[in-house]
Amino acid sequence: MKKDVPKRCQTLWPCKNLDKWQINKQNNVNFTVERAVFCFFWFFWLVYGVKLCHLGFGEDTDAWLMAQTAQKLSLGEGYDPARSFGNPVYEYLLVLIQPNQNWFLGNLFNLFLASLFLWRLGKYFPVLSEIQLLTVRLTLLVLPIFTEAATSSMEYMLVWFLLMEALLAEKNGQIWLFWCLVFLAVFTRFEFLLFFIPIIFYKNEKAISPLPFYFLLFIVASFIFWSFGKNPAPFSSVEGSIYFYGGRLFFLFKQAGVLSAIYLGLLAGIIFNLKEQNGYQKVGIVALVFFVLFPFEWAYSFPAMIFGLVVLVSKSNKPSHFALPFLVLMLTFIKIQTGSILNYPSNFRNREEMTRMYNVAQIIDYQQATLVLEGATYLPTDTRNWEKGLNNRLFHRKNSNFFVAEKLTLQELDSLKKVGMVVLKSLPMP
């Protein structure tokens, strides 16, 4: 290295102009080996992410429902939340980033947010060393729930980013920025209002208590969501709730397969931090409790997972934790049926099939009325070309003999068969 360049400013490879630029304390650039390794893997993840961005709105059919909401808003039909209480900030944002239901642009927006999220991890968790930070970043790159959120037109990536930026703003004493980010996060996903409770109540010694602002936001948000939202529970009795809860647990473990062990391990990392007197870490505990109460999607647990991941990695001084991302990557290619076989990652296969079926459903036709019993949550995404019936459970593509439905009773199904309708379980290849 050149002797006239301070050691703290030297790069991995000598470069006169770059080293002089780094002497300025305002330009704190450090091209370490860890950052070079992350850039290498991030590039390939980005290429894979762009490929996924071309495959529909997302694996979760709620992404297709939000595209419908955005289309209705763009057509001036008013706000119709896609699910539960709705996600107004993101659904209105989709009107801008998803013109004419262009899923690639909407997905690409989240891919940008995910990349920004990865680069900001060092700011969110300064306790991590460079090698520990690399482990966390690489683990997120190969986690299917992170990649899916990063390449789908869902609100998850946006609200996770807002959550972490809000925690960082509060830590830096940027109170007005904190409340702006909290407001956006809450109206992106209502339950995130609960995640800020540890920050509001944790050893607050400020001159102005944030409790009045929090309760005001709670009252206003609750009223708005209750007025415009829908019943978030897909059941109406105790028996129905128990049946649904058990069904969702079975679905989650079936969906994740062998990766379930990794997910549970990351969630368990939060438990090792229960004694920590840190309000920010307790956000992860609140997120874990929420997921246990409402285990609808693995993505619901991500705020707890990332805190658990950071706890596990930060408490390990050995480089063995570096094997974690490679273990996760290996498990994503294993699919258990009668045995363990290698296959493409499930999110790629599922999205490719969903996109194929969507495109087929827009053009296929039959000689006589034909009903398909799968896909009613996403095949009729373009509402301009579809008619609804049976309380929004039966859809008919205009000027065709093609129908798609979901949750039909046996009596309704029998009546449709009696009028001569052909019933298929799934949409075949054309």
Residues 398-430 pLDDT 10s: 989 999 988 888 888 888 888 888 888 888 765
Res. 164 pLDDT band, cuts 50 70 90: very high
Among 262, 320, 309, CA closest to 136: 309
Q: What three-state secondary structure class fits 340?
A: strand
Angle separating helix axes 103-119 and 88-97, nearest 10 degrees: 120
H helix intervals, 278-345: 279-293, 302-314, 324-332
Among 184, 144, 132, 176, CA closest to 160: 184
Is 58's pLDDT higher than 70?
Answer: yes
pLDDT higher for 96 or 349?
96
Predicted confidence (pLDDT) per residue in 286-343, tens digit = 999 999 888 888 999 999 999 999 988 888 777 777 788 888 888 887 765 444 455 6
Is 204's pLDDT higher than 70?
Answer: no
Res. 115 pLDDT band, cuts 50 70 90: very high
Among 224, 114, 120, CA closest to 167: 120
What's the confidence (pLDDT) of residue 3?
47
Q: What three-state secondary structure class fits 271?
A: helix
The answer for residues whose C-beta is within 8 angstroms of residue 97's C-beta and 6 or more apart is 105, 106, 109
Instruction: Please check whether residue 38 is in contact with residue 51, taking contact to mean a CB–CB distance below 8 angstroms.
Output: no
Res. 109 pLDDT band, cuts 50 70 90: very high
Is 231's pLDDT higher than 80?
Answer: no
